[in-house]
């Protein structure tokens, strides 16, 4: 496998690295997915997997664009230099653009060009935007000023940086910090007649370039500073808000002769090349060192990823088995839901039939209650009639008593009258005898009426009790009817719920099928990652070799300023 990889072209090797990088990101996505697998439901799993896939795509794009591609280009570039197919002047991207010097014979113009070039070199030292940190101050001379930063370099009081450039370019340099409407020297190589560094002093407001600098424009011209004449250039520097925060100063002493000017120009050009080439080599060495460290770290991470991927494969196989069990259970749940739906349909029909029977019985009870009410009223009337008949019997008894009394008086009177009214006495006896029988009959009738009254009262009481029972029966039948109505409605709702559950079970079964398919794809992806891990490791070793070769190439160059 290693031999086949080495036989590939550089572009093919980096293409393989691009692919394996995507696989590594996919493994990361699988690990995150596995971590959250027991926390969310299935729908959230699919959403998380989709988001991780999109993230993996963009992370891979970022990795290829900002790490692999620059390394590829750097390796090709250095290969061309090593083979001698690329001229050094074109291999240095930081060499300043040539300024046309044809037909420039006057010393002043030549001096201006030289100052301009050095000023550009000085500006090239500061690749990052200037920023002022007002929360911290630095004492320069006798003045406290806020910090001025360019990237990771704090410039206030950083005279060593300026001295290094001053010696290489043979010029005087200064950094002014704009505070309010003044420009304060916060770092400089200028010294007064006593040899003291003139740090902390301001740029005079009557300086001819003062107003131009406030407007963000360059100033070029001669100046006498601390007893020496200079050809100067002041260049304002703006922050990220496009506001002037500092000024860069270059001061070059006038040449004694044209020959000296030529020598100075040659030295400036050579120093320019040296400075830029030195910066390039420094960057290349740093990049090679970082690349080597990154490759070592990548190798360690690949090893960890390999073990994690093996563990993930076992977990993925278990997940596939679990998904198959979930699929079987989902199908069983769907079948049970369908059976429960059928039973609910049958119970719904039976409850409807029972409700109809209860409604018929309730109607019969209501009719029977009406009949009982009528019978009770009739018996009450009968009792009242019996009471009236008893009153009539009383009247008959009274009449019988009076008739018997009259017959007795008549008999007494007949006995007194003698034989002349004997027939009247016989009639009186018959009347008395009839009255006696009438009284007995009346007593019998009274006894029968009392018996009828008693039975009628008992019947009325019994009917009254039955009436109460019938009313209770009607009420209970009503309650039963209402309860059966509730039961019927509940059975109907259960029927609807069962239908809904059956639909949900069907959807769940389909969703489980989709998740199982996704799990199978993940398992295949893990297998592919396992197969590609060895190639990734060999590619990492190749990158390490490239970094070592790069270090060896850069160590062959020894540079220094004139």
Q: What is the pLDDT of residues 430-453, one digit of tens each?
A: 777 787 877 778 778 878 877 877
Burial class (CB in 10 A: 0-12, 13-18, 19+), 375: middle
Indicate whether 260 belongs to any domain.
Answer: no
Q: What is the DSSP letter of 142?
A: T
Please identify every stretch of the chain with a pLDDT value under 50, giving residue numbers as ranges: 2-3, 6, 10, 40, 62-64, 66, 81-82, 84-105, 256-259, 560-562
233, 254, 275 - which closes a domain: 254
Range of the domain at 294: 2-88+283-320+528-555
φ, ψ of residue 86 to 5 degrees: the values are -135, 125
In angstroms, the first-to-last Cα distance of the chain is 51
| Whether residue 221 sits in one domain with residue 130 | yes
| Whether residue 54 sits in one domain with residue 150 | no
pTM confidence score? 0.33
Number of separate helices (H) and strands (E) present in the chain: 10, 8
Closest CA to 372 of 515, 292, 474: 474
| Whether residue 243 sits in one domain with residue 130 | yes
Closest CA to 144 of 188, 177, 181: 177
Indicate whether 346 belongs to any domain.
Answer: yes
Model confidence over 105-146: pLDDT tens digits?
Answer: 456 677 788 899 999 999 988 878 899 998 999 999 888 999
Q: What is the CATH number of the domain that holds 436?
A: 1.10.287.950
Provide the pLDDT for residue 90: 36
Provide the pLDDT for residue 16: 57
Using alpha carbons only, give the angle 9, 15, 21 rounded to the nearest 5 degrees. Answer: 140
Query: What CA–CA distance (Å, rounded) separates 437 from 440?
Result: 5
| Whether residue 187 sits in one domain with residue 292 | no
Q: What is the DSSP letter of 197?
A: B
Which element (helix H / strand E) includes 39? none
Provide the pLDDT for residue 189: 94
Indicate whether 98 belongs to any domain.
Answer: no
| Whether residue 480 sits in one domain with residue 441 | yes
Residues 537 and 298: beta-carbon distance below 8 Å: no
| Whether residue 453 sits in one domain with residue 305 | no
Sign of CA dihedral 503, 505, 506, 512: positive
The tokens describing 268, both together, are 């400036």
Indicate whether 562 belongs to any domain.
Answer: no
| Whether residue 152 sits in one domain with residue 68 | no
Provide the pLDDT for residue 453: 74
| Whether residue 250 sits in one domain with residue 145 | yes
Query: What CA–CA distance (Å, rounded) separates 177 from 332?
Result: 80
Indicate whether 177 belongs to any domain.
Answer: yes
| Whether residue 361 sits in one domain with residue 496 | yes
Model confidence over 226-251: pLDDT tens digits?
Answer: 888 899 999 999 988 899 999 999 99
**Overall number of domains in the chain:** 3
Residues 272 and 120: beta-carbon distance below 8 Å: no
Tokens 């070799």 map to which residue?
Answer: 545
Indicate whether 52 belongs to any domain.
Answer: yes
Query: What CA–CA distance (Å, rounded) separates 127 from 288?
Result: 21
Indicate whether 94 belongs to any domain.
Answer: no
| Whether residue 551 sits in one domain with residue 509 | no
237, 254, 271 - which closes a domain: 254
């Amino acid at each position: 496998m290693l031999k086949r990889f080495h036989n590939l072209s550089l572009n093919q090797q980096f293409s393989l690295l691009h692919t394996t990088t995507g696989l590594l990101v996919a493994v990361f996505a699988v690990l995150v997915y596995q971590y959250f697998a027991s926390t969310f439901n299935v729908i959230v799993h699919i959403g998380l997997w989709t988001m991780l896939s999109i993230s993996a795509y963009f992370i891979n794009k970022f990795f290829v664009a900002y790490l692999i591609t620059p390394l590829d280009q750097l390796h090709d570039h250095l290969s061309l230099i090593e083979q001698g197919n690329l001229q050094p002047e074109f291999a240095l991207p930081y060499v300043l653009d040539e300024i046309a010097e044809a037909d420039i014979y006057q010393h002043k113009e030549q001096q201006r060009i030289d100052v301009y070039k050095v000023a550009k070199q000085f500006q090239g030292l500061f690749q990052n935007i200037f920023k002022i940190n007002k929360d911290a101050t630095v004492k320069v001379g006798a003045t406290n000023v806020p910090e001025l930063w360019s990237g990771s370099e704090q410039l206030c009081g950083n005279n060593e940086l300026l001295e290094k450039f001053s010696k290489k370019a043979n010029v005087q340099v200064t950094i002014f910090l704009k505070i309010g409407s003044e420009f304060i020297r916060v770092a400089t190589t200028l010294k007064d007649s006593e040899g003291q560094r003139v740090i902390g002093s301001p740029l005079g407001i009557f300086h001819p370039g003062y107003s131009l600098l406030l407007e963000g424009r360059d100033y070029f011209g001669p100046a006498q500073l601390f007893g020496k004449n200079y050809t100067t250039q002041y260049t304002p520097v703006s922050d990220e808000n496009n506001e002037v925060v500092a000024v860069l100063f270059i001061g070059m002493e006038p040449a004694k002769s044209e020959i000296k000017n030529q020598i100075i120009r040659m030295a400036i050009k050579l120093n320019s090349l040296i400075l830029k080439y030195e910066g390039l080599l420094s960057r290349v060495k740093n990049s090679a060192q970082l690349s080597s460290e990154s490759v070592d770290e990548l190798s360690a991470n690949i090893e960890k990823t390999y073990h994690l991927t093996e563990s993930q494969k076992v977990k993925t196989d278990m997940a596939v088995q679990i998904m198959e069990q979930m699929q079987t259970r989902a199908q069983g749940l769907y079948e049970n839901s369908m059976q429960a739906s059928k039973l609910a349909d049958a119970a719904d029909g039976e409850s409807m039939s029972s409700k109809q029977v209860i409604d018929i019985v309730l109607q019969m009870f209501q009719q029977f209650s009406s009949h009982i009410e009528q019978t009770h009223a009739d018996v009450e009337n009968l009792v009242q009639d019996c009471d009236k008949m008893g009153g009539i019997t009383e009247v008959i008894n009274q009449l019988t008593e009076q008739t018997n009394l009259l017959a007795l008086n008549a008999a007494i009177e007949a006995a007194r009258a003698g034989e002349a009214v004997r027939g009247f006495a016989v009639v009186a006896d018959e009347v008395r005898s009839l009255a006696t029988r009438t009284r007995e009959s009346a007593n019998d009738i009274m006894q029968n009426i009392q018996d009828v009254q008693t039975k009628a009262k008992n019947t009325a009481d019994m009917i009254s009790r039955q009436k109460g029972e019938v009313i209770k029966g009607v009420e209970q039948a009503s309650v039963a009817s209402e309860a059966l109505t509730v039961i019927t409605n509940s059975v109907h709702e259960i029927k609807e719920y069962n239908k809904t559950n059956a639909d949900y079970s069907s959807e769940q079964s389909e969703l489980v099928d989709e998740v199982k398919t996704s799990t199978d794809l993940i398992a295949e992806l893990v297998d592919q990652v396992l197969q590609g891990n060895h190639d990734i490791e060999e590619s990492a070793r190749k990158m390490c070799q490239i970094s070592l070769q790069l270090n060896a190439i850069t160590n062959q160059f020894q540079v220094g300023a004139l």
